[in-house]
């Protein structure tokens, strides 16, 4: 029994005190098992180093002269499959990395040392967890299209006058610079360039026919300020709503 106990302690001790023979006096070399560990050789003395939680050692330098820890998804680990246990903070699965929001599919978080910075995709887009880029919401499996489209649903085929087949355009209910394009029943949100607005035409998608939008020219107000008025007009000339921007 004592023999087995001593043997077990020796095995544990040997694992805790890893050794590495430096190929050169100076350099940075990947650990043979762990993707987030590496050996730093200084004057032929090896020191085991660990990247930040969520980072991995980039061993792509063939000369082993670069000390670089990068995001896990940017590093080819190969057979170095072991990683340190995750350390999480709010919105961060690990201290370093880019992570999707758990509730809003158009939001993602960039985490650096546990500090999370919030980012939001452009209107109509959602964060793709695999590609780690913003894509059209209907192309992201984890996201329901109506979440990103603000609850807007495309009308059924044949309900929109003047629509070309399965294609139609609709005004945003609140922002006159935004609009929706429906294609095959999928809504995608677009935005006009800054300073311009979407011209609704014969219908705004809500069934109110004849609504048109006119934008008055900017003119100088008191104190030299620029004032721009937006008028929403019906065909009978009755003003429905006016917005003033100082």
Q: Is 2 domain-assigned?
A: no
Q: Which residue has the higher pLDDT, 202 or 120?
A: 120
Beta strands in the chain (DSSP E): 27-30, 37-42, 45-50, 55-57, 69-71, 97-100, 107-112, 115-120, 125-128, 133-136, 167-171, 178-183, 186-191, 212-215, 219-220, 226-233, 239-245
Q: Is 46 domain-assigned?
A: yes
**Distance of alpha carbon 141 from alpha carbon 157, whole angstroms:** 24
Question: The dihedral of CA 90, 129, 108, 74: what is its sign?
Answer: positive
Assess whether 76 and 122 both reside in one domain: no
Which residues, in sequence order, are bridge partners of residue 209? 203
Assess whether 178 and 238 both reside in one domain: yes
For range 196-218, the mean pLDDT:
46
Distances from the Cα of 244 to the Cαs of 143, 226, 229, 239, in angstroms? Answer: 36, 10, 5, 14
The domain total for the chain is: 3
pLDDT of 201 strictly over 60: no
Q: What is the domain extent for residue 79?
A: 18-85
pLDDT (tens digit per residue) in 103-152: 888 899 999 999 999 999 987 788 999 899 998 887 888 776 555 566 67
Assess whether 74 and 108 both reside in one domain: no
Are 111 and 101 contacting, i.e. CB atoms less than 8 angstroms apart? Answer: no
Residue 56: predicted pLDDT = 98
How do 27-30 and 212-215 pair as beta strands?
Answer: unpaired
3-class SS shares of the chain: helix, strand, coil, % to 5? 10, 35, 50
Residue 125: predicted pLDDT = 85
**Distance of alpha carbon 189 from alpha carbon 182, whole angstroms:** 9
Instruction: Give me Rg for the CA atoms of the chain.
Output: 29
Residue 83: predicted pLDDT = 97
Assess whether 136 and 111 both reside in one domain: yes
Residue 169: predicted pLDDT = 79
Neighbours of 206 (CB within 10 A): 12
pLDDT (tens digit per residue) in 71-106: 999 999 999 999 999 999 999 999 999 999 998 888
DSSP 48-67: EEE--BTEEE----TTS---
**Distance of alpha carbon 32 from alpha carbon 24, whole angstroms:** 17
Residue 161: predicted pLDDT = 54
* DSSP 8-class letter at 93: S
Q: Is 172 domain-assigned?
A: yes
pLDDT band at 200 (very low <50, low <70, confident <90, very high): low
Q: Is 121 domain-assigned?
A: yes
Q: Is 11 domain-assigned?
A: no
pLDDT of 18 strictly over 90: no
Most confident region among 16-20, 78-82, 153-157 by mean pLDDT: 78-82
pLDDT (tens digit per residue) in 21-71: 999 999 999 999 999 999 999 999 999 999 999 999 999 999 999 999 999
Q: Is 153 domain-assigned?
A: no
Residue 170: predicted pLDDT = 80
């Amino acid at each position: 029994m004592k023999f087995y106990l001593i043997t077990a302690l020796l095995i544990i001790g040997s694992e805790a005190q890893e050794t590495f023979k430096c190929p050169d006096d100076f350099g940075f070399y990947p650990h043979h098992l762990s993707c987030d560990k590496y050996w730093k050789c200084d004057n032929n003395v090896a020191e085991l180093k660990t990247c930040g939680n969520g980072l991995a050692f980039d061993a792509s330098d063939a000369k082993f002269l670069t000390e670089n820890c990068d995001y896990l998804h940017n590093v080819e680990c190969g057979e170095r499959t072991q990683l340190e246990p995750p350390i999480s903070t709010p919105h961060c699965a690990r201290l370093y990395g880019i992570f999707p929001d758990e509730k809003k599919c158009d939001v993602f978080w960039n985490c650096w040392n546990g500090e999370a910075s919030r980012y939001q995709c452009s209107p109509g887009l959602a964060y793709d967890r695999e590609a780690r880029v913003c894509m059209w919401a209907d192309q992201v499996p984890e996201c329901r299209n109506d979440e990103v489209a603000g609850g807007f649903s495309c009308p059924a085929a044949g309900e929109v006058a003047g629509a070309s087949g399965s294609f139609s355009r609709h005004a945003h209910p609140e922002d006159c610079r935004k609009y929706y394009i429906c294609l095959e029943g999928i809504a995608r949100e677009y935005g006009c360039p800054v300073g311009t607005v979407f011209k609704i035409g014969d219908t705004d998608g809500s069934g109110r026919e004849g609504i048109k939008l006119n934008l008055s020219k900017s003119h100088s107000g008191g104190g030299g300020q620029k004032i721009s008025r937006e008028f929403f007009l019906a065909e009978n000339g009755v003003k429905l709503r006016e917005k003033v921007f100082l």
